[in-house]
Structure 1
Amino acid sequence: MYPVFPLAHGWRSPSSAPWSSARKSLKILGEQRVVDVTNDLRTARARKTRGEIERLRRATSLVENGLHSFIANARVGMTEIDIAALISGRIVAGGGVPRFVSVTSGSRSALADAYPSGRSVAAGELIRIDAGCTFDGYWSDLGPPSSSESRTLGRARYIWPS
């Protein structure tokens, strides 16, 4: 049996693989015996079973529920940490594991993937939220909103009138 290494992430050849075990195997066996299975793995991972799709949907719905909880409970003076805790609490209550809950506001809203701070949100300020979780090993990450989600988000902007 040949050692098999995925060569994704810009690796140009098996010899450029960063793993020390890959380099050791290449030294012992030679490049002729190492098989690049990057495309095979990518193809296999692109297909999902019904159970996998359900777990992905569940993970996504947990984050959406957290965002809806924030919209329903938002108040001027909440801190970024309060908001992150509200979203995370909803995710955990639904059986998920929060993996990233980035909340920034005001002058900090330009920061991507920043940890929430103790900064209080003032009326009229922009709040930026990026959140994701895992459910039964499957990750959520939300993309651009649908038209119905856009309507919900449009209502959210009026929580903190300027």
Structure 2
Amino acid sequence: MFANLERLARFMDEQGLDGLVATTIENVYYLTGVAAVGLEIFPHTGQAYAVVTRDALDKPHFVASRCDIDQALDAAVEIAGAVGYGIFYRELPDGVELTDREKKLVATSVDAPTVPTPLDALVETLRRAGLDGARIGLDEDGVGHGYPDALREKLPGLDVHFVSQALRWARKVKTAREVRSITAAAAAAEVGIKAVNALARPGVTELELVREFERAVAGVGARAKFSHIKIGRGGVAGQTRPSNVALRRGDAIWFDVGCVVDGYWADIARVSCLGEPSDKLVRYYAAMKAGCDRAYAEAKPGMTGGELFDLTVDAVHQAGVPHYRRNHVGHGIGVELYDRVNVTPGNTDDLEEGVVVNIETPYYEFGLGAVQVEDPFLVTATGNQLLTTLDRDLIVLD
């Protein structure tokens, strides 16, 4: 499974928690492997939950709308129970012979009593799990103001504590399965970058480059989540929508691209140049890479995010860009784009063995555009493991 059960158990024991309720799309996925569609398509109002007990962390309960409760069949682990709320119809004519999979869906979406609201469904699930009078941790980030009080009103014996940050702490150290998924996502992003470089020729537009990236990523089973690809000086406004600016010889192509595979993120950056790059681009790219290289070489368990920030920026300065400045030069990555640890000035959060750091050194300058190197690496006590394979030097296209 994805979740680091050892860390989940550790913080539950430290806090004396009998159960956990996950409410965000990331944390529900982390505990169940279910990408709750209601949380994605209705990000402000959708409700879905995963509930686990301390003595059965690997057997979550799943709560979603009656329409979406079929997603329990997709779980990466054994589901202890599923409760759907609201009204939705799946017709079952007399005499239809059901598969085992269909029988499970009938039990939760046809035969089960109607539960009117998400809150009612959570209350029912807590009762089934034996948590209705227990001390539980609630992922408060995915519920609205007043929700905890409404939950306590329904279950007066419930002792509710907020644990969103604790769940982030648990997710900080990755399992082997998580590392495989992050690596697969990075590989998909690399396929997209290679496809764009293969298409690059005079006259091709930013819009065409972005479409090619997203087509290639989809072709290997990933979902493009952001496709920041800019030509030349346009990179200084890298988050703007792709334009009809056409590629010319001598232009740089800046990539800062992200995609998801199996629920896990990749976020990598490169620069290509169609023909001979300018001396300034060569020098600045080398300096940005030097910063990432030093971070990759020297990051170790026990180092803080602030210390990693300082040595990365110092390496860029020493490599020839003394005025380089940044608000951050990286972040953890996993089921969420920005997991812990953040590589920011003064950050005291420490690296641990098993953390995946997405190190990056972006530089934006009017008239030049954007220069950036970005890769994920796994922190280990015996040397760090880069999770990408694409050439990290400035890519020159003939």
Structure 1 CA distance for aligned equivalents of residues 178 and 194 of structure 2: 24
1:45 aligns with 2:45: no
Structure 2 CA distance for aligned equivalents of residues 130 and 35 of structure 1: 38
**2:145 maps to which residue?**
20
Q: Secondary structure at the match of 2:239?
A: coil
**1:129 maps to which residue?**
255
**2:229 maps to which residue?**
103
Backbone CA RMSD of aligned residues: 3.1
Assess, with a 3 A threshold, how the Cα gap between structure 1 residues 26 and 35 changes in structure 2: closer, same or farther.
same
Asked if the contact 2:232/2:252 (under 8 Å) is kept, the reply is: yes
**1:13 maps to which residue?**
none
How far has the Cα of 1:126 moved from its partner? 3.0
The count of corresponding residues between Structure 1 and Structure 2 is 147
Structure 1 CA distance for aligned equivalents of residues 138 and 248 of structure 2: 51
Structure 1 CA distance for aligned equivalents of residues 261 and 229 of structure 2: 21
Give ranges in structure 1 of 5+ residues lacking alignment. 9-16
Corresponding residue to 2:397 among 145, 159, 162 = 159
Q: TM-score, normalised by structure 1?
A: 0.72
**2:303 maps to which residue?**
none
How far has the Cα of 1:74 moved from its partner? 1.4
Q: Secondary structure at the match of 1:44?
A: helix
Structure 2 CA distance for aligned equivalents of residues 18 and 51 of structure 1: 29
Structure 2 CA distance for aligned equivalents of residues 92 and 137 of structure 1: 14
1:57 aligns with 2:174: no
Offset from partner CA, 1:10-66 (integer Å, 9 cap, x none): xxxxxxx98224464488599xx4313244312321232222211111011100111
Bigger fraction of residues in strand? 2
Corresponding residue to 2:196 among 52, 64, 70 = 70
How far has the Cα of 1:104 moved from its partner? 1.9
Higher relative contact order (CA 8 A, sep 6+): 1
AA at the equivalent of 1:149: D
**1:81 maps to which residue?**
207
How far has the Cα of 1:97 moved from its partner? 0.7
Q: Secondary structure at the match of 2:256?
A: strand
Q: Secondary structure at the match of 1:149?
A: coil
Corresponding residue to 1:35 among 148, 158, 161 = 161
Bigger fraction of residues in helix? 1
AA at the equivalent of 1:120: A
**1:113 maps to which residue?**
239
How far has the Cα of 1:69 moved from its partner? 2.0
How far has the Cα of 1:109 moved from its partner? 1.5
Structure 2 CA distance for aligned equivalents of residues 55 and 42 of structure 1: 18
Structure 2 CA distance for aligned equivalents of residues 72 and 97 of structure 1: 20
Instruction: Give the percent of matched residue pairs that are identical in Structure 1 and Structure 2.
Output: 24
AA at the equivalent of 1:4: G
How far has the Cα of 1:149 moved from its partner? 2.9
Give ranges in structure 2 of 5+ residues lacking alignment. 1-133, 269-358, 361-372, 376-385
**1:14 maps to which residue?**
none
